[in-house]
Chains A and B, each alone.
Chain A
């Protein structure tokens, strides 16, 4: 059990700086997810914690101990890899017990701990099999079993679910969460899938181009994105984002899109923008709904547009329509039939419209 801290940590690959002086405090027993698009530096950060990559700058501590010059084996961390990396020439039992054997534990204790871990992950019946005789989900479990059997201070997961099919992925996701509740050890989990991040994390760290964009609880990031990138990255479907500039009419500030559509600046943002400023404004699919089938928000702006495409998903329907030249998505929760080319009135909830400065990308 331990906290992990990264202070000004950097990683260079040749001249490319993959991780740029990041600071991060991971609380004891926390489930922290590093998420971001490929090449954002999340895996490099994880591998530096594991000791598989050298730390080019900064300090990493686990507990109160500096890790910089320690070998992976001296850090007491366990890592679960994307491709499982089970030892193919060993049985499941040998795979699980390998780290204990290396540590020089007595046979009896190894057996006990292997069976305990196998019990937690429900793989006792496969102990005598070789990895090649297991299904994807079983292999994933063995990989996790191999990690917990050592009772490490920190678990590191490197995209552990991306090799599984969708159904199994959901199932294993739940199991990982359950595992965390059972063993309550600090977990650092890397993924590019924001759904995984949202569902698993106590806190999420969003990275992009080697820097941390935002750290927060899943709801924090969803409700209060700090940057335009975070806003579009978190949530599915992606937040609708429209470029505009601030204009002044009748002493009121308005947002004028590139297509000439004019939308009032939300009341609480009136004092935060200035005339001529280039911004983007974003809103989630559920915050622009067909008036006919939804409740009109208290502070609404209305537009009329025809439906390009409708995707009924049962509990909800996604409607693709145009906002000027830009296609946006609307999500309605009423089970009504909507067809292509239907012309509908949409209401945009201005209270839930986000503004971002176009130059800095920061939320306004």
Chain B
């Protein structure tokens, strides 16, 4: 065996180990979702599943049946609705505002531009969870607790800095001459942006969008404080419904977790092409 082959084997071996490390917890969640509680709780552990079923999903989506530990069904559809409304709306607003902001930073010069940029990025250094109490107090005073709008506001604020950063890098990559030609070609500034610069930065905007969406979709800590009822609780917060005083319905929780992962996965695959170019090109600041 020559050096190259040994190298190849080493690379493959470490890649496989790495993939196993990353995949195992996820795989375990998926498996648990299809297994009966007895199997999951068994000691010693049952590693290889003996029987798989869809009981947890049936219970979750269509109400209780036998074997669901007799708990009242969780309003998954309400949670799904909340999650969809909150994630999509906040993503839309964050991408809209962030793209305009990113364009502004990339194309316009104004006083203290770099300081403003840094300031916006610095907001990302504050751990989100440390904001939960101040946000809770403010929201409770103005009546935004347990509302879609309140949670959307929080996510928009969380996502805009990142969106600005990503799209700024992207707009910088488009030669200025591009919009200048468009303007001598008869476009207004807005038309040049709409016809030329926006389509050219789609990858960046798509990746910013997917990141914003995933952050909103998966966020737990902040929403768990701000959402109180089925009016605004999201799927992730709904996971806690599976814990009772003395028991945790692990298979049920995992079934919901699988349910949460699926849309995110689909969306990621849909924009994967853009995501790759978005991350490799847009991230580099010119």
Cβ B195 vs Cβ A52 within 8 A: no
User: Are A150 and B186 in contact, CB atoms less than 8 angstroms apart?
Assistant: yes
CA distance A2 to B33 in the complex (A): 77
CB atoms of B178 and A52 under 8 A apart: no
Given known A88-B200, A99-B185, A102-B186, contact A79–B191 (CB-CB < 8 A):
no
**Of A69-77, A193-201, A237-245, A337-345, the one touching chain B:** A69-77
Query: Are B195 and A78 closer than 8 Å at their CB atoms?
Result: no
Given known A83-B177, A85-B175, A87-B178, contact A77–B184 (CB-CB < 8 A): yes
* Option from B175, B184, B188, B199 in Cβ contact (under 8 Å) with A79: B184
Report whether B178 and A99 are in contact in the complex, using a CB–CB cutoff of 8 Å. no
Closest to A50 in B: B184
**Which 5 residue pairs spanning A and B have beta carbons closest together?**
A99-B185, A85-B177, A81-B177, A72-B183, A102-B186
Mark interface residues in A220-258 (1 if CB within 8 Å of B CB, else 0). 000000000000000000000000000000000000000
A-B pair count, CB < 8 Å, reads 60
> How large, as a class, is the contact surface on chain B?
10 to 19
From A83, A87, A156, give the contact of B196 (CB < 8 A). A87
CB distance from A99 to the nearest CB of B (A): 4
Contact (A52, B183) CB under 8 Å given A73-B188, A87-B196: yes
* Interface assignment of A51: CB less than 8 Å from any CB of chain B: yes
User: From A81, which residue of chain B is reached at the shortest CB distance?
Assistant: B177
- Counting chain A residues whose Cβ lies within 8 A of the other chain, the interface size class is 20 to 34
In the complex, how many angstroms separate the beta carbon of A191 from the nearest chain B beta carbon?
16
A89 with B185: in contact, given A52-B180, A81-B180 (CB under 8 Å)?
A: no
User: A92 to nearest B CB, angstroms?
Assistant: 14
- A-B contacts, 18 of them at CB < 8 A, read A50-B180, A50-B184, A51-B184, A71-B183, A72-B180, A73-B186, A75-B184, A78-B184, A79-B181, A81-B180, A85-B177, A85-B181, A87-B181, A87-B196, A87-B200, A98-B182, A150-B185, A150-B186
- List residues of chain B with CB under 8 Å of any chain A CB: 175, 177-178, 180-188, 191, 195-196, 199-200
Binding site secondary structure of chain A: loop
CA distance A293 to B175 in the complex (A): 54
Which of chain A's residues 5-63 have a Cβ closer than 8 Å to chain B?
50-52
> Residue A139 at the B interface, CB < 8 A?
no
B184, A72: Cβ atoms closer than 8 Å: yes
Which among A72, A77, A98, A156 has the greatest number of chain B C-beta atoms within 10 A? A72
B-facing mask of A263-291, CB < 8 A → 1, else 0?
00000000000000000000000000000
A208 within 8 A of B: no
Most buried by A among B183, B185, B186: B185
User: With A and B bound together, what is the CA distance between A102 and B182 in angstroms?
Assistant: 10
A81: chain B residues at CB < 8 Å are 177, 180-181
A71 to B188, CA, bound (A): 8
Complexed CA–CA distance, A3 and B180 (Å): 23
Contact flags (1/0) for A76-120 with B, using CB distance below 8 Å?
011101110101110000000011001100000000000000000
When distances are taken between beta carbons in the complex, the residues of chain B under 8 Å from A150 are 185-186
Q: How far is the CB of B278 from chain A (nearest CB, A)?
A: 16
Using Cβ atoms and an 8 Å threshold, which residues of chain B touch A71? 183, 188
Please report the C-alpha to C-alpha distance between residue A150 and residue B182 in the assembled complex, in whole angstroms: 12
Give the complex CA separation of A83 and B200 in angstroms. 16
CA distance A354 to B177 in the complex (A): 42
